[in-house]
Amino acid sequence: MVNQKILNSMNGLLSNFNKSKVSNLEEWKSLPLMSKEDLIDFSIPRNFKEVRATSGSTGESLFIYFSEEAISGFVGRAVKFIKKMNLNKDDLGLILFSYGNFIVGSMVERACNKEKIPIIPFGSTNTYQKENMLKLISLLKPNIWFSTPTYALKLLSELGNKSCFPKKILVGGEKLINSYIKKFKEYNIELFNLYGLTECNPVGFSDSKNPKKIIAIYPNIYLETIETMQGKELVVTDFTNTSTPIIRYKTKDLVKNIKVKRGIIKEFEIVSRNDDLIKLRGAFVSKSKIIEVLSNFSLEFVVYLLIKNDSDFIQIYLPAPIKEKEKDLLKALQTVLGNNKREVLFKKDLIVPKTNSNKPKYIVDIRN
């Protein structure tokens, strides 16, 4: 059961894209689900105010066009989590999200501008080198960080002076795994978690008490779930984007601990991606579990999946100092990789590949 206001928003969006209106939720649920593939051949709209890129199924850039209303909706929802973090004009925010096709950085920047919170919008290493960033942090001591968890932890590990540590960090753009949460707690930093996707951001955020519990940010979006073989997948609709149809859009994110009130999803927890499982020698292995295990030892590693002697083979690279923990590492890997053939190599100058949005690409499948 949905209220009339939500039904009106559904029909307003459908009319904008010349689709038939619905009279109830059952009719809405009968509409086809959308995915990235449905947007590949979408014609360039006349009314867009901003464009971003995300990776399509082929790895090629997929352009997402945003209307003025969509941008306003993004910023409005971003202001909500800024307020929930209890930030004010006496704080100094450091935006470490990548700029460019990654929308989160500019969204946070505009929300902080609106709330008159001073910021340093220097972005990630694609716009400002890590070494310079460490010097800047030591000089200005920003007390609020906005970052992917891996980049924030990397900077924290290299900052020599604890007085330069922030009081609060809002992370996003990557799954917040247990090993990351543990590290942030060791630094005694108040942690918030932001969830969204390029096509619609933000969708939700956590409080600092439970960074895995995502609280949905309304209005202007509608959330639902669908059953898949892997579990419940989150589906999102953006009522404000009149340039690109984000209608019953599959996020590929599997969720659990869903709380619903009056037909509206209020809370959920991200479990994994629906493409998280990879097939190795006839059995399925979780990519996120591999990352979870290795991140307990280092934030710098690469896992290559390749073919060797006509069989799947796993090649894992870690920094040279981790060799001291090799025995514990091999034992931990056994729990997720079982008897899959593998080798662990330790390299002095390890370079981790990056995605288009400058996030670490920990698992690289080169079997095809």
Per-domain residue ranges for the chain? 66-273, 277-365
Q: CATH number of 66-273: 3.30.830.10, 3.30.70.2750, 3.40.50.12780, 3.20.20.140?
A: 3.40.50.12780
E strand spans, 184-248: 190-197, 200-205, 213-216, 221-227, 232-238
Confidence of residue 59 (pLDDT cuts 50, 70, 90): low
Q: Which of 111, 114, 124, 119 is nearest to 91 (CA)?
A: 119
Q: What is the mean pLDDT of the chain?
A: 93
Mean pLDDT of 226-249: 96
Residue 339 makes CB contacts below 8 A (sequence gap 6+) with: none
pLDDT value, residue 103: 80
pLDDT value, residue 57: 52
Confidence of residue 368 (pLDDT cuts 50, 70, 90): confident
pLDDT in tens, 122-134: 999 888 999 999 9
277-365: CATH number: 3.30.300.30
Q: 322 — phi, psi (to 5°)?
A: -70, -15
Tokens representing residue 269 in the block: 């927890």
Confidence of residue 245 (pLDDT cuts 50, 70, 90): very high
The tokens 């001073």 sit on which residue?
118
The one-letter amino acid at 222: Y
Mean pLDDT of 179-200: 95
Confidence of residue 160 (pLDDT cuts 50, 70, 90): confident
Q: 181 — phi, psi (to 5°)?
A: -60, -45
How many whole angstroms separate alpha carbon 256 and alpha carbon 242? 30
The answer, yes or no, to whether residue 226 has pLDDT greater than 70, is yes
H or E element in which residue 250 lies? strand 249-261
The answer, yes or no, to whether residue 111 has pLDDT greater than 80, is yes
pTM of the entire predicted model: 0.93
